[in-house]
Amino acid sequence: MKFRTFYRLFYKHRLKKASIILKIYILLILPFRYLINSFYFEKKINLDIFSTKNKFLFEKNLNYLFESFNSDKGDFFINQYVQPIKKNKKKIKGHGYSKFYDLLFSEIKNKPLNIIEIGSFYGNASAALFFYFKRSIIYGGDINPDMFKYKSNRVKNFFIDNGSRSSIEKNLLKSNINFDIIIEDGSHKLKDQIISLFMLFPILNSGGYFVSEEIDFPETKEDMRINQSPPDLKTILKNIIEKKDFQSTYIENFEKKYFLENLESIDFYKGNYNEIAVIKKK
């Protein structure tokens, strides 16, 4: 993890709210905090080598894999969102999305697919997907790609800011790769969820799935919708289900037209805490 990433994750938000004296104090201790935490940074794991010694993982269900690699998509995980020095072995309740993913993907898990997770963080879910989809290429995109701790011939890691149209265009659309499954687990902000779906839907293969995780965040968390124009993505998708028209500052007319013409179905699933939306393409 680079120093800049460490700062952005653990101190940037504190500096914004801090008094002058506290800001000076944080800036003074920040290099030392980074140095101390660096001793706890996890080493990168080569999944190609790791898998030869753990072949049994290829036969496990997604919840087992999510928990094994400490992804919060499973039923339980160790808190990975704290500074490495503060990480302990106590498991807490996760989102519990794995049962929905098993239901959706069990029949296609052995096919050669292109799968991407946007908002990959440490890459724990990507590692789980590597074993579940044993013939697929797994892409992990994040605003902090230096955090990604796995490597493999079947795992690709890259930078993307899913809140930026130019970043999505430059770092993903121009790569000319189509996907069978797109999991959007990025910032969860109102605008970002909308542009991610409507910009990326054209590169989803026919019969493919787009999953928007924590789709209820803009509805339930104020900081996910500050200075952003409603409606949120959840409202838009419900309007589509109810055959109602919708307008959004963040959707171009040609994107809206393409989406409506190529949409097969929209389903919502409630996990332990939050909701996901699963959009299937014709």
Tell me the pLDDT tens digit for each residue of 10-23. Answer: 999 888 888 999 99
**Amino acid in position 91:** K
Q: What is the mean pLDDT of residues 128-132?
A: 98
Instruction: CATH number of the domain at 173, please.
Output: 3.40.50.150
Do 161 and 260 reside in the same domain of the chain? yes
203-234 pLDDT tens trace? 999 999 999 999 999 999 999 999 999 999 99
Do 10 and 124 reside in the same domain of the chain? no
Do 98 and 57 reside in the same domain of the chain? yes
Count of domains forming the chain:
2
Percent of the chain with pLDDT over 70: 100
Percent of the chain with pLDDT over 90: 94
pTM of model > 0.85: yes
State the residue range of the domain holding 31: 3-38
Q: What is the mean pLDDT of residues 99-111?
A: 96
Do 57 and 8 reside in the same domain of the chain? no
| Calpha distance 66→258 (Å, rounded) | 34
pLDDT for position 17: 85
Q: What is the mean pLDDT of residues 158-180?
A: 95
Q: Give ∠ CA 249-194-122 in degrees, rounded to 5.
A: 140
| Calpha distance 169→166 (Å, rounded) | 5
End-to-end CA distance of the chain: 40
Do 120 and 16 reside in the same domain of the chain? no
Task: Count the Cβ atoms, other than its own, within 10 Å of residue 1.
Answer: 18
* Residue 41 dihedral angles phi and psi, to the nearest 5°: -65, 135
Is the confidence at residue 125, as pLDDT, over 90? Answer: yes
Do 55 and 169 reside in the same domain of the chain? yes
Supply the mean pLDDT for the chain.
96
pLDDT range class, residue 3, cuts 50, 70, 90: very high
More confident residue, 94 or 13: 94
Q: Is residue 106 within 8 Å of 98, Cβ to Cβ?
A: no
Do 127 and 238 reside in the same domain of the chain? yes
Do 23 and 63 reside in the same domain of the chain? no
Do 183 and 252 reside in the same domain of the chain? yes
pLDDT for position 282: 97
Do 56 and 9 reside in the same domain of the chain? no
Do 203 and 247 reside in the same domain of the chain? yes
Task: Count the Cβ atoms, other than its own, within 10 Å of residue 173.
Answer: 15
| Calpha distance 219→174 (Å, rounded) | 32
C-alpha closest to that of 282 among 266, 265, 267: 265
Do 10 and 148 reside in the same domain of the chain? no
37-66 pLDDT tens trace? 999 998 999 999 999 999 999 999 999 999
pLDDT for position 126: 98
Look up tokens 């069978």; give the residue.
180
